Amino acid sequence: MPKKRHQPKYSKPPSVASASLSLSSPRQSTSEHHDRSVNELLANLRRSTLSSQPVQASSSFSAATAPSVPPALRQILRLPEPPAPVSRRPQRRDPNGRRPPPGPPPPRSWVALSQSPHATPSSLQHDGTHSHIRYWSMPGVYAPTEGSLVDLIIRRIAFDWAQQRDWNRFYLYTLPSRLRSALLAHVSEIYSQGMSLMDLRLVLSGPSEDELGEYGLEPPDVNTLNSDFFYLDLKGSLGRSLTVKELHELLFGPRNAIVPADIIVQDSWDAPAPTAGPAELLPNLTHLSLAIDPGSTLSVSWKQLLSLAGKLTQLTQLSLAGWPEPSLTPNAKFAKVTSPTTGRSVQYSGTGPYSHVLDGDWTEAILILKRLSRVLYSLEYLDLTGCGDWTRALREDSDGEFRMDFVDWAGDWGKVTTLRLNSGYGLADNSSNAEILRFSDWIDEAIAVEKHIRAQRAGRGRWITVERDTLSETAQAIVEREKLARFHLVD
């Protein structure tokens, strides 16, 4: 059977409110609701809304909607002055004076993670009193992408290193080797106190055996743990919170380490050769940065560096940025002794206060660099940033007892393809002429070293690139003017 179709009783919904809504509204007659149209209800609602606003809001509303009148006509008609517009909210500015993007400011935690307490390399300038130099990263060293999650986490750990080294002391040495090398580089540069010997031992080998045994943990195998650890960046910490001697003892153990008696005599010729003393902490280390801050209170020792370099023959990249002139007795530069045979006073140190300036004697520096080149014969990259005062020793020669001493760039350091001789500073707009001339002398010396190395190799070694600074047009004009003035003064 066909379905029954019910016709609706009304063609549109009733305009009367439901019974539940009529309880809260004032009681009015049903006929009054039906007599009012929708337009009348809306008009009544507008009147009630405008009458309920305060006087100030109504006046501002009327002033905003009232047409403007020219000032001359307003004086003739004696109309009152219109109210002043409401002042806008002051614009937000960042510390550099620029307008930030629209929207609410970022949380403080985001800003704290993105800002670094140390100056970036591009902003470091030398104004005569600033002692910090610019550090260049060694090529090929792993570094997390700036602004990435790994970079933010490592920086956060470096900022709170005083707490992190205690809270996470049982987890830091379990990180991958490339993350540990990046962490050491950030802590050395960011942490105010620098990387200490205990911190370095904690990251590379973990806590002590007694502390691990207290929690039932076995000490890690150093050879397996650091087999893929290739980069060690200690820039800024060496000479401040860490010495070369401490680094030597950490990597290779103390010199007076007692060899156990049971490994002296071998039971069989087929047995592997025993290793005397403790195992090397970083057996495959190839990149080492020993850059220092020239303004640090502690000093570094070339004698200790030669002792350490003798056991790091596999190094391919080395940074000695900021190191002083090569000398085995730097503290005795001004000391003199009396000869028992002649009775005359002679210089105690190999380098005196006037050896380089007046005498042109670079004998001690050449001998030290020559010894360093003989043990580090695998070097391919050498960074001597901030060493412009003694880079002349790289191209000079001296008469020894029966031979000529010089740095052999064709044999010992014939593999070096990149030599960085930057000054580490930047000239400011208000730099004096003396600073500009000294800056120019460093550049000229770097050019002379590059020509000397290429002439010494003469096709026998690899092609070398010497990184150096450049002068602006204004600074170059000042240098030429000063040189011309000196030339006329000599004539």
DSSP line for 233-284: E-TTTBTTTB-HHHHHHHHH--TTPPPPGGGTS-S-TTSPPPPSSSPPS-TT
Task: Select from 439, 486, 362, 376 the least CA-distant residue to 127.
Answer: 439
Note the pLDDT tens digit of each residue in 164-176: 999 999 999 999 9
Q: Compute the distance between CA of residue 187 and CA of residue 318 in angstroms, rounded to an integer.
A: 19
Amino acid letter at 172?
L
pLDDT along the chain (491 residues), means of 10: 56 50 48 68 77 49 62 83 73 69 66 41 37 82 90 93 92 94 93 91 92 89 90 90 92 63 52 53 94 77 94 95 90 75 72 74 91 95 94 87 82 94 86 89 94 90 90 88 77 59
Q: Compute the distance between CA of residue 98 and CA of residue 15 in angstroms, rounded to an integer.
A: 58
Q: Compute the distance between CA of residue 426 and CA of residue 471 in angstroms, rounded to an integer.
A: 10
**How far does Cα 75 stand from its chain's mean position?**
67
Tokens of 399: 């008469």
| pLDDT score at 282 | 93
- The values of phi and psi at residue 346, to 5°, are -125, 160
Q: Compute the distance between CA of residue 327 and CA of residue 349 in angstroms, rounded to an integer.
A: 8
Q: What is the pTM of this model?
A: 0.69
Tokens of 54: 């305060």
36: helix, strand or coil:
coil
382: helix, strand or coil:
strand
> At which residue do the structure tokens 């047409």 appear?
67
- The values of phi and psi at residue 234, to 5°, are -120, 30
| pLDDT score at 109 | 53
Q: Which residues, 6+ apart, have CB-to-CB distance to 154 below 8 Å? A: 144, 179, 182, 183, 186
Long-range contacts, stretch 56-60, CB < 8 angstroms, 24+ apart:
59/83, 60/86
- The values of phi and psi at residue 383, to 5°, are -110, 115
| pLDDT score at 262 | 46
Q: Compute the distance between CA of residue 32 and CA of residue 302 in angstroms, rounded to an integer.
A: 105
Tokens of 270: 């087929």
Tokens of 104: 């609410």
Q: Which residues, 6+ apart, have CB-to-CB distance to 468 below 8 Å? A: 421, 422, 442, 443, 446, 447, 450
| pLDDT score at 277 | 44
| pLDDT score at 280 | 81
Task: Select from 284, 257, 281 the least CA-distant residue to 173.
Answer: 281
